[in-house]
Amino acid sequence: MIYLNYNNLDAETQQHLLSVSKEEIENKFGTDLKIYAKENHMEYETILYEEAVKNLYAYTYVFNI
């Protein structure tokens, strides 16, 4: 669960959430994503970013008002 203050949804908070998601994806699937990127002639960072954004939807958010 991710606890967020409803008044603090600025760009910095969003970037932090994205970086946490990127780290999580990289730890879980980093090697597989690198192989996939190489086989399909794609940029690893682009694939990592897209997967991190998808991963954000899997989180459970709790907003404190």
User: What mean pLDDT, rounded, does the chain reach?
Assistant: 88
CA angle, residues 46, 8, 61, in degrees to nearest 5: 65
Cα separation values, 58 from 7, 20, 34, 42, Å: 22, 13, 22, 25
How many structural domains are present in the chain? 1
For 14-29, what is each residue's pLDDT tens digit?
Answer: 899 999 999 999 999 9
Q: Which alpha helices (DSSP H) does the chain contain, by range? A: 11-39, 44-56
pTM: 0.79
Q: Which domain holds residue 33?
A: 2-64
How many whole angstroms separate alpha carbon 37 and alpha carbon 24? 18
Please tell me which residue, 59 or 46, carries the higher pLDDT value.
Answer: 46
